[in-house]
Amino acid sequence: MKHELPKMLKIERVIREAEGVHTLFLPYAGEVKAGQFVMLWVPGVDAKPAGISYHQDGCIGVTISAVGAWSKEVCGKKSGDLLGLLGPYGNSFELIGENVVLVGGGYGAATLMLLAEEACRRSLKTTLILGARSEAALLYRTRIKAMKLDAIFTTDDGSFGEKGFVTDILQRKLQSEKVDGVYVCGPEIMEKRCAEICLAAEVPSQISLERHMKCGFGVCGACCIDHSGRRVCVEGTIFSGADLLQTHEFGRYRRDSSATKQPFA
């Protein structure tokens, strides 16, 4: 177990990625593995997890969607303001084979970006399928354009890319060619569908799971997966899709801050 105090760091830069979505860059000299997260502490508000979306020029970037008290506070920060950082925490994605497919929905794209960069660095045949509600909500389009991969975008309203769901594109892809591994981060209903599609096609999937976390380093137990005891913050956040499909809660419910079951709609 890794226990430390948060480091108070000066924000180097803030960029707007989409409506209500900002990336904050913080100085970080250490190692980062694709798929890991950090705990970001806003004194007097809360400390919450965020995926690491950039690792460049001695900085890490976190991309935050302003939805509630903590995230609105984080998105309101400017360069020069202080933020507390704990981590990086969690396990990481493992690239398998030569032909890989990454599937992201909403801000789940953030957790996949370092993996996409690693796959390109290794010259793997890489397909990135990203979905969002609308064109305005799609993340990292300029960044992705500069990468050597096949990018497919979907929007729920058809305002950009294909109208429909990332899961339909994934299914078509797995039916049309031999894929070695699928890597997923997004809304859990989407993740479950991806895991089912991969299982049916006998392609291994790795899925980043999001659960309510209080500590982020395995002490509090808030993020344990029912009946398995696995802590999402330490043994995860990345699990095999086939394993998750065996659990009681994947795609059915998650627990809130008071451990009450909250079913997925």
Among 42-50, 91-99, 133-141, 247-255, which window interacts with ligand FAD (CB under 6 A)?
42-50
Size of the site for ligand FAD (CB under 6 A): 19
Give the other-Cβ count within 10 Å of 173's Cβ. 21
250 part of the interface to ligand FAD, by CB under 6 A: no
Among 86, 110, 124, 197, binds ligand FAD (CB under 6 A): 110
Task: From residue 78, give the alpha-carbon distance in Å to each of 18, 49, 70, 225.
Answer: 16, 19, 15, 36
Name the burial class of residue 126, with classes exposed (0-12), middle (13-18) and buried (19+) by CB atoms within 10 angstroms of its CB. Answer: buried
237 part of the interface to ligand FAD, by CB under 6 A: yes
With respect to ligand FAD, which residue has the nearer C-beta, 37 or 183? 37
Among 36, 65, 126, 167, binds ligand FAD (CB under 6 A): 65
From the CB of 20, what's the least distance to ligand FAD, in Å? Answer: 10
CB of 45 within 8 A of CB of 69? yes
With respect to ligand FAD, which residue has the nearer C-beta, 124 or 223? 223
With respect to ligand FAD, which residue has the nearer C-beta, 41 or 153? 41
Among 37, 153, 183, 239, binds ligand FAD (CB under 6 A): 37
41 part of the interface to ligand FAD, by CB under 6 A: no
DSSP 204-263: -EEEE-----SSSSSSS-TTBPTTT--BTTTT-SEEEHHHHHTSSSTTTEEE-TT--EEE
Name the burial class of residue 16, with classes exposed (0-12), middle (13-18) and buried (19+) by CB atoms within 10 angstroms of its CB. Answer: exposed
Among 28, 107, 217, 239, binds ligand FAD (CB under 6 A): 107
Give the other-Cβ count within 10 Å of 183's Cβ. 30
Tally of residues, the chain: 265
22 part of the interface to ligand FAD, by CB under 6 A: no
Among 118-126, 131-139, 145-153, 210-218, which window interacts with ligand FAD (CB under 6 A)?
210-218
15 part of the interface to ligand FAD, by CB under 6 A: no
CB of 127 within 8 A of CB of 152? yes
From the CB of 41, what's the least distance to ligand FAD, in Å? Answer: 12
Reduced to 3 states, what is the DSSP secondary structure of residue 135? helix
From the CB of 237, what's the least distance to ligand FAD, in Å? Answer: 5
Q: What is the spatial order of strands in the sheet that 125-132 belongs to?
A: 162-163, 150-155, 125-132, 99-105, 181-185, 205-208, 238-240
With respect to ligand FAD, which residue has the nearer C-beta, 130 or 179? 130
Contacts to ligand FAD by CB under 6 A: 37, 48-51, 63-65, 67-71, 107, 110, 210-211, 213, 237
